[in-house]
Amino acid sequence: GAVVSQHPSRVICKSGTSVKIECRSLDFQATTMFWYRQFPKQSLMLMATSNEGSKATYEQGVEKDKFLINHASLTLSTLTVTSAHPEDSSFYICSAREASGGTQETQYFGPGTRLLVL
């Protein structure tokens, strides 16, 4: 149980184009999903917290107009990198928290999406 998937696993795009990454909780409902970014050989940095049916909460320094997040259902959140540039190249990882109440529930992580912008 508690499986989170991401699609695509790897994407290469040209500079200036937009890329959409999907995060799905496969066997549970997630009221909250999180989006992280990981640079090579570095730790994960939280980008934003996504709550189903409401606007995402972005961390300081993360451009909300560049990284569009939609959490339309209890099993799906999407991250769209708009007008991507080479500096956006990174490993993007999502996580999902079960909709069972409480604030200390475990987060389950997706396998990540590697984005390369040429």
Partner 1 sequence: AQSVTQLDSHVSVSEGTPVLLRCNYSSSYSPSLFWYVQHPNKGLQLLLKYTSAATLVKGINGFEAEFKKSETSFHLTKPSAHMSDAAEYFCVVSEAGTASKLTFGTGTRLQVTL
Asked if residues 22 and 7 have their Cβ atoms less than 8 Å apart, the reply is yes
Among 15, 17, 29, 42, interactor with partner 1 by CB under 8 A: 42
Q: Is 111 in the site for partner 1 (CB under 8 A)?
A: yes
Instruction: Report CA-CA distances (Å) from 11 to 14, 18, 55.
Output: 10, 11, 26
Q: How far is the CB of 110 from partner 1 (least distance, A)?
A: 5
Q: How far is the CB of 47 from partner 1 (least distance, A)?
A: 12
Degrees, nearest 5: CA angle 31-56-8: 75
Residues 50-89 that bind partner 1 (CB under 8 A): none
Q: What CA–CA distance (Å, rounded) separates 88 from 39?
A: 10
Residues within the interface to partner 1 (CB under 8 A): 4, 6, 32, 34, 42-46, 49, 93, 95, 97, 103-112, 114
